[in-house]
């Protein structure tokens, strides 16, 4: 098994999510991005809010993860975005593909 990372972040609409996903792949900061539609509940300025959002789950390696996070922070439209870095172990064959596509 090889060490890699997921980067998890939510976005307000599919257009923004797709644009950021495409930029991350084009700039070789991530190898793959999955996009999911979710429903979120959270407190914002004292009120409970509910919204439809789109989650990006980005797959990358340790050499690119921090630059990918900086790119997401730069492009993110939220005042206070959530960007999570999740360490994981992946199979060697997939890891080798990730590295070969840089």
User: Could you tell me the domains of the chain?
Assistant: 2-100 (3.30.70.120)
Q: Do the beta carbons of residue 60 and residue 30 sit within 8 Å? A: yes
Alpha-carbon gap, residue 52 to 91, rounded angstroms? 33
DSSP 67: H
CA distance 56 to 59: 10
Mean residue pLDDT across the chain: 96
For the cut 80, the answer to whether the pLDDT of residue 5 exceeds it is yes
- Average pLDDT for 69-80: 97
Instruction: Tell me how many degrees the CA angle 70-74-76 measures, rounded to the nearest 5.
Output: 110
**pTM, to two decimals:** 0.93
Query: What confidence category does residue 101 fall into, taking pLDDT thresholds of 50, 70 and 90?
Result: confident
């Amino acid at each position: 098994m090889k060490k890699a990372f997921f980067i998890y972040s939510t976005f307000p609409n599919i257009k923004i999510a797709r644009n950021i996903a495409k930029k991350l792949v084009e700039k070789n900061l991530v190898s793959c991005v999955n996009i999911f539609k979710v429903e979120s509940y959270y407190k914002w300025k004292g009120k409970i809010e509910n919204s439809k959002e789109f989650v990006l789950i980005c797959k990358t390696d340790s050499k690119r993860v921090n630059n990918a996070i900086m790119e997401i922070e730069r492009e993110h439209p939220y005042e206070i975005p959530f960007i999570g870095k999740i360490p994981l172990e992946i199979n060697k064959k997939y890891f080798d593909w990730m590295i070969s596509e840089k």
